[in-house]
Amino acid sequence: MKVGVVGASGYVGGEIVRLLSAHPYVQLVQATSESRAGKYVASVHPNLRKRTTLRFSKIADLEPCDLLFLALPHGRAVGLIQHMRAIAPRIVDLSADFRLKQKTEYPKWYGYEHPHPSLLEEAVYGLPELHRQQIRDAWLVSGVGCLATSVILGLAPLFKHGLVREHMVIAEGKLGSSAGGSAPSLASHHPERSGVVRSYEPTGHRHTAEICQELAFGKSPAVMLSATACEMVRGILSTCHVFLKHDLDDKAIWRVYREEYGDEPFIRIVKERQGVYRYPEPKIVAGSNFCDIGFERDPHSDRLVVISAIDNLMKGAAGSAVQAMNVMFGFEETTALEFTGLHP
């Protein structure tokens, strides 16, 4: 199977190239970068030395293939989608251009009118844990927001079973620097970033729209989302506060998560009684496609705290995208995604 990666010089594009270089059923035939065309992919992604001899090409040089991954900035893929569809019959777009189902959400959260609203109904949100059957049959699969992924996976079982109050969902994510992309800025400059725990979007985070959409099991929740930059390169730790409709103990809550995620290859429920790893931690999932989820019931109220950890470049982007590709083409879902993470 021949696959291309459009926008392969960024962090997410590089992760897709890394994963595909170990995929037994895929031949990576093209990797584009308008600014790096002609240069070896490994010159930008040095971890790929001896893994690929591919050179970057331009979008204009793309040739027909079986699937394209689009790892382009928000707002770029939507203008190229028809051209890309003529090159490949199936597409995984990792930007936000096709994540939201309602066209009215794009001016509100992304600042533009969607030029192809009819395609929003055809696109499938690319979380296999929620949309496996639809992904299998789709020609267009959207990427997922990294912060949104950690919150959605952490809370989806509770909302699906109607266990928590929809009017009050409070979530805060602590994110590593790679979530800001590879382009340098003052915020990513080492003297400005090192040692900080910086609240950079306490309200109005655009991933709020995805979370509300994907947790709307009959009724859309009111989500209050905040984002904080931390001194790590990879990873997201999301701490979510929800409020139970009924008095449920740990065993009842555990059974719900087991029912929904017991057979999921990349979801791990973390509930230890003691030790430093009794809750999810981003360091443990770095480089992997796992989402670790834990929870604790507040003994003094109806509050339930749900904690989830992912690698933002993997389960929050490239890993979920390759997982979706595996579903689309009938490969074993874990193919090329078996890495378990490191400890210590």
Q: Is residue 146 among the annotated active site residues?
A: yes
End-to-end, the C-alpha distance of the chain in Å comes to 37
CA–CA dist 9, 182 (Å, integer): 9
Q: Are 315 and 308 in contact (CB under 8 A)?
A: no
Q: Which residues of 247-279 are buried (b: 16+ CB within 10 A; e: fewer)?
A: ebeeeebeebbeebbeeebbbbbbeeeeeeeeb
β-bridge partners, 225: 171
Residue 228 — left, alpha, or beta (φ > 0 → left; ψ -120 to 50 → alpha)? beta
φ, ψ of residue 279 to 5 degrees: the values are: -125, 160
Catalytic position from the list 65, 146, 212, 291: 146
Residue 318 DSSP symbol? I
Q: Which residues are catalytic?
A: 146
